[in-house]
Amino acid sequence: MATFVLIHGGGGSAWDWHLLIPELVALGHDVVVPELPIEDRSAGLTEFCQAVVDAVGDRRDLVVVGQSYGAFTAPLIAERLPVRLLLLLTPMIPRPGEKPGDWWDRTGYRGVEGLTEEQQFYNGVPAEVVAEAAAHVREQVSAEGDEPWPLDAWPDVPTKVLIAREDQLFDVDFQRRVAADRLGITPNEIDGGHSVALSHPKQLADRLSGYLRP
């Protein structure tokens, strides 16, 4: 089986994956859940990548999953380690040279007005899990937002994009357009909202594991 490397999104932490981890382990996989140094004002994409590499250690047969803002970091790992598959989950897909802070304007993102952060990020997540979430949100003060994404091209690694049908932060039409425009990929879809790992962990584990089958 594979080692799944789960990279959280902006303001996130390893907790974001805590319901998915046992589901992947039950399917026979190893799981690595790094925490990016988002609370370090001097940390940029190089430090993000190094945090993941350090967490992986000598593990191989890697499947790197970048959720939301984690999609800026996930492809960088393929430049450092032998990655079997890149999986982008409800992602912010970068372009070469693009600053993360510019992504919103450059993709033409337009959010839905009137939604709370809870509705945007935790749509469909059980109330008891949402109640825990605030204790695990971290302040993102790191420096990568004004740093050009360093790769000249997307890594030569098989890549899948998985989007959530009920996502109220990035709606499906927007995500389909960005994936097609930036990677030439038609995304796969799964039930759930932006935090699908918290709302549908078993279904997500089955889908992720299924990508490894011939």
The CB density around residue 82, as the number of other CB atoms within 10 Å, is 10
Domain holding 54, by residue range, is 3-210
Residue 67 confidence (pLDDT): 98
- Counted domains in the chain: 1
The arithmetic mean of pLDDT across residues 157-180, rounded, is 97
What are the pLDDT digits (tens) for 112-155?
Answer: 889 999 999 999 999 999 999 999 999 999 999 999 999 999 99
What are the pLDDT digits (tens) for 67-89?
Answer: 999 999 999 999 999 999 999 99
Residue 72 confidence (pLDDT): 98
The single residue listed with the structure tokens 């399917």 is: 27
Q: How many residues in the chain?
A: 214
Q: Which residues contact 75 (CB under 8 A, 6 or more apart)?
A: 66, 86, 94, 151, 154, 155, 157
State the Cα angle at 188 between 202 and 48, rounded to 5°.
75
More confident residue, 193 or 1: 193
DSSP for 168-201, please give it: SSS-HHHHHHHHHHHH--PPEEESS-TTHHHHSH
Residue 89 confidence (pLDDT): 98
From CA 33, how far away is CA 96, in angstroms rounded?
A: 26
3-class secondary structure, 36? coil
Find residue 66's DSSP bridge partners. 7, 88
CATH number, domain with residue 153: 3.40.50.1820
